[in-house]
Amino acid sequence: MPSDVHPFEARASDADLADLRARLAAARLPEAETVRGRWDQGVPLADLADVVAYWRTGYDWRSFEARLDEIGQFRTTVEGLDIHFLHRRSPRAEATPLILTHGWPGSVAEFVDVVDELADPADGDAPAFHVVVPSLPGFGYSGKPATTGWGTEKIAAAWVVLMHRLGYDRFAAHGGDWGGNITTVLGGRFPAHVLGIHSTFAAGPPGLPMDGLTPVERRWAEETRHFWRHRAAYAKQQATRPQTIGYSLVDSPVGLLAWILDKFAEWSDTEASPFETISRDRILDDVTLYWLTRSGASAARIYYESHNSLDPQLRVDVPAAITMYPRDIEKTPRAWAQERYRNIVRWNAPARGGHFPSLEVPGYFVKDLQKGLAAVLHT
């Protein structure tokens, strides 16, 4: 192992876990929502109360700690900031290095259920990968930037350094949400290092016309526009006042849970609850990681650093595989995506799945990623 990469082990203290349970027991909850559509004003009181009760009395954080250790945790310092990451090497000699980047309100918890199959697939004909899953700056066990500047461009450059330290000078990359943005920057800025990309985020340059779009693509464009105009107050808040909302997210576990659970509910391919497809434990793994690392404010600052900052002129010439899940919040018509991603070798629009496919449809996600990256690597 390189001398500047160190094994990492996280253990929450019993006192911290007891404090969390005490805060949950003492939580002050508002009255119920005043609308019939249960989620129309946000997380319904009854749903939140149920999750809070389970978080306090049934949820087991230690099992998630053990899972992270089982995969393999490490840290390294890049540009003065500690970067935490999971690293699972494949037993197959021909495996390709692959970096998976999460977004907000996600974390490395998004990928813990797919790492093993990506590294050592049951299908001997499927491609295998040496999987690296970093925590974004300000998220989880990565360090919290003390100054401005840690936007998506700097993060992408840090990922190149990280992969080099692991002996991976050329690698593939995948991401969604902010991870897809960062993956786009990786492909566009570092083609000498990036073999190709797979992304569930494929924003074209701004100002492209609706002319020539299919009815489905026109609906995608309209839904995406409606999302940013009417359902993105969280992004505006975190892009302009991350410190203000950060006090609530770091001080109140119920406030943190509601802020994050709202997005898992609204952005997943479900009808009445995110728990239709995502386990309650996995969502609580994610929320508890934010809580124990006190990263509600520091994670929110990625919006301050990078909201609407993707270079309109950036072009991605390395091979790209793009998947647009039907209930994701941003869906880009292929004609628009091709204005930025100049070498799309696979385009996929599944029938099911939302913003968190590795959690919602993990089996399908793995197969889609394998097929997409196989197309990328054989171009």
DSSP letter for 15, please.
H
Contact present, 74 and 7 (Cβ < 8 Å): yes
At 379 the pLDDT is 86
Contact present, 131 and 100 (Cβ < 8 Å): yes
At 2 the pLDDT is 72
At 1 the pLDDT is 65
At 298, is the secondary structure helix, strand, or coil? helix
- Per-residue DSSP letters for 302-342? HHHHHTT-S-TT--B-S-EEEE--TB-S----HHHHTTTBS
Distance from C-alpha of 361 to C-alpha of 356, rounded to nearest angstrom = 8
Contact present, 292 and 16 (Cβ < 8 Å): yes
Reading the block at residue 139, the tokens are 């998220």
Distance from C-alpha of 83 to C-alpha of 323, rounded to nearest angstrom = 28
Q: What is the pTM of this model?
A: 0.97
Q: Which residues contact 379 (CB under 8 A, 6 or more apart)?
A: 196, 319, 343, 345
- Condensed to tens digits (0 to 9), the pLDDT of residues 40-50 reads 999 999 999 99
Residues of the chain predicted below pLDDT 50? none
- Condensed to tens digits (0 to 9), the pLDDT of residues 129-143 reads 999 999 999 999 999
User: Comparing C-alpha atoms, which of 198, 199, 189, 193 is closest to residue 171?
Assistant: 193
- Condensed to tens digits (0 to 9), the pLDDT of residues 2-46 reads 779 999 999 999 999 999 999 999 999 999 999 988 899 999 999
Q: Name the amino acid, one letter, at 80.
A: G
Give residue 143's Cα distance to chain centre. Answer: 17
Give all domains of the chain, ordered by start, each with its CATH number: 5-377 (3.40.50.1820)
- Region of 308 please: left (phi>0), alpha (psi -120 to 50) or beta: left
